[in-house]
Amino acid sequence: MGLHIAGKRQDGYHDIETVFYPIPLRDALEVVHAGETSFGQSGIRLDAAPEDNLVMKALHALKKKYAIPPSAICLKKAIPFGAGLGGGSADAAFMLKLLNAFAELHLDDGELEKTAATLGADCPFFVRNRPLLATGTGNVFEPLPLSLKGYTLYIVKPDVHVSTREAYSLVEPSEPPCPLRETVSRPVAEWRGRLVNDFEPSIFNRYPVIGDIKERLYTQGAVYASMSGSGSAVFGLFEEDRRLHFPGCFVWKGLPD
């Protein structure tokens, strides 16, 4: 929620400021003992080869340091990819946590976070999975006393894939007008116009359907709506349940914790 891009670093990454908030939209991940290691995937189909999946990269990251028994791994995808929802990063982090228990490694959260950081900037967030203010490249975390309990959350994703690389290539970094921590401390009803995502102007210009979804969420009663991360998913917070129709889109409704 909210995403400021302050500048580009010498290492090619960008300094950002954003809020990560866990929601009950989940994939399913299973690891069981087997004669040899295998990977199976169901649900939303992924085009990538198994070895390119972050679940398998998480496995290999741990195998460099620890003995992991041969296993059959099954991933059922429900979180759409190319959406800015962190689905792949969540899979990687939860794979580390699952393997920690499966192989009885007894690693603490700090150690898991270090390994998760090698897989992606936002992967460590999902180890503890609680509201956080993220700075740096999205890898420096501060606890945030934020709760959306009582709101109904809708996520709408059109049939559009926005890569993170593409999103960053279109945006112009700038200093945020107000610290994000201060903005999200306001009531949700005051977020509109204050809690902004710097990716939106350029992404909406290239993919107008994403901007149209945001406006439709407001038209249908959202207290606050925004693109999630680099898109293409858009979320809306409602004070009461609504029946929303977005033909041709992935639509999910849930109650934040």
User: What pLDDT does residue 152 have?
Assistant: 97
User: What pLDDT does residue 162 have?
Assistant: 87
Give, to the nearest 10 degrees, the angle between helix 54-63 and helix 87-102.
Answer: 40
Helix (H, G, I), strand (E, B) or coil at 252: strand
Helix (H, G, I), strand (E, B) or coil at 116: helix
Assess whether pLDDT exceeds 90 at residue 9.
Answer: no
Q: What is the pLDDT of residues 169-217, one digit of tens each?
A: 888 888 878 899 999 999 999 999 999 999 999 999 999 999 999 999 9
pLDDT confidence of 8, banded at 50, 70, 90?
confident
Cα dihedral angle (91, 92, 94, 98), rounded to 10 degrees? 120
Cα dist from 40 to 57, 60, 83, 97, 235, whole Å: 14, 16, 22, 19, 30
Task: Give this prediction's pTM.
Answer: 0.92
Assess whether pLDDT exceeds 80 at residue 10.
Answer: no
Highest mean pLDDT among 93-107, 114-128, 139-153: 93-107
Cα dist from 99 to 67, 72, 118, whole Å: 10, 12, 16
User: What pLDDT does residue 40 have?
Assistant: 95
Assess whether pLDDT exceeds 90 at residue 54.
Answer: yes
Looking at residues 42-60, what average pLDDT do you find?
A: 91
User: What pLDDT does residue 15 have?
Assistant: 87
Cα dist from 207 to 19, 104, 154, whole Å: 24, 46, 20
